[in-house]
Amino acid sequence: MRSPDPLAADVTPHTSASSVLVSFVLPVHNGAEHVAAAIDSVLAQGDTEIELVVIEVVVVDDGSTDGTAEVLARYAHDPRVRVVRHEVNLGLVAALNRGLRESRGELVARLDADDLALPGRLAAHLAAMAANPALVLHATAYERALPSGEVLRRPVPPMTHGALAMAAWAGNQLCHSAVMFRRQVAIDVGGYREEWFPVEDFDLWLRLMAVGEYGGSAHVGTRYLVNPDGISKRHDDAQRSAMRARADAAAVSLVGSAAPTGSVRARLRHLQRYHRALRRQLSARLIGTDGLDATAARIAFDCTAGRPRLVRHLQVASGAPRVWWSSLWRRAWVSRRATGSP
């Protein structure tokens, strides 16, 4: 493992540490083409609703060899932008942890160097965090866009803790560039862990949720660049494998066994055990289970995708009967609400 703490130096003067509420952590490696736009998108977050909120952008230049340093030098006299540099490229996890250590805000928001923070993102995060002090993690929706600017889709994260915790059975549901979390809590649970790269974010979400609550927002707060040269694209296969391994580790912790890769019935039976154990765990922690049943049902029917509708219902009903009945009850309840029936 590479050393996470190289010699590096700040290159800008700063505002006082005590005044900063939010730190945007922005690691960059050879990102001269995009990094200025990313920084500017954060600085533009200071609209009238949050004009008294002091933010900083902590840019970790992870050994860039292109013109990134020259681009960052343009911000040398902006007290809101702090730049630290690794003289050699140590990798994303080391850069993220350096950003956490250098941050002075109570809250940390993430942004990759080729993504953009969209208007209202900061306000959406802060409103949720203020409304529920138990939140340690919050995510907004985001848009996936091509370099041309064409928006491909706008994924919405799970809205509740129960929904995200259940969805973790299938893998990561959050965009790293669209989250905010409490800095000290993230440090206390160990920060980002090298052994889980390239799903170091998913690993952190699971550990944060074990000690606090999560909330989501449908506000589109980030533009995520679908970059063929980006880290996610270069590590597609490794990311899928690591995500499955991390989800399985969470399942083992909760129910004593990993999700099987064999028959649909075996997967459904494991899903039901996970659903039942998770409900008990959340209830014991006094965390609401809203979204838990709906998410379990969605995953169950995803397991049977490609089959006729009746066959899918029969498979779910036999493999995960509690999940199936809860989905029927939920649909009936939604239907009654829609029609105004008692």
Supply the DSSP string of 41-76, one letter for each residue.
Answer: HHHTT--GGGTT--EEEEEEEES--SSHHHHHHTTT
Overall average pLDDT of the 181-190 stretch:
98
Please state, rounded to an integer, the average pLDDT across all residues of the chain: 90
Reported confidence tier of residue 53, pLDDT bands at 50, 70, 90: confident
Question: How far apart, in whole angstroms, are the C-alpha atoms of residue 58 and residue 80?
Answer: 9
Q: Look at residue 13 in the predicted model and tell me its pLDDT.
A: 39
pTM for the model: 0.90
pLDDT at 235 over 60: yes
Sign of CA dihedral 37, 103, 242, 168: negative
| Confidence (pLDDT) at 9 | 34
- The pLDDT score that the predictor gives to residue 206 is 98
Average pLDDT of the segment spanning 313-327: 91
pLDDT at 236: 81
Rg for the chain, CA atoms, rounded: 21
Of 302 and 20, more confident: 302
Torsion of CA 183, 188, 189, 191, to 10 degrees: 50
Q: What residue spans define the domains of the chain?
A: 17-228, 260-336
Provide the pLDDT for residue 8.
Answer: 34
Confidence of residue 302 (pLDDT cuts 50, 70, 90): very high
| pLDDT > 70: percent of the chain | 87
Q: 108 and 100 in contact (C-beta within 8 Å)?
A: yes
Q: What's the CATH code, domain 17-228?
A: 3.90.550.10
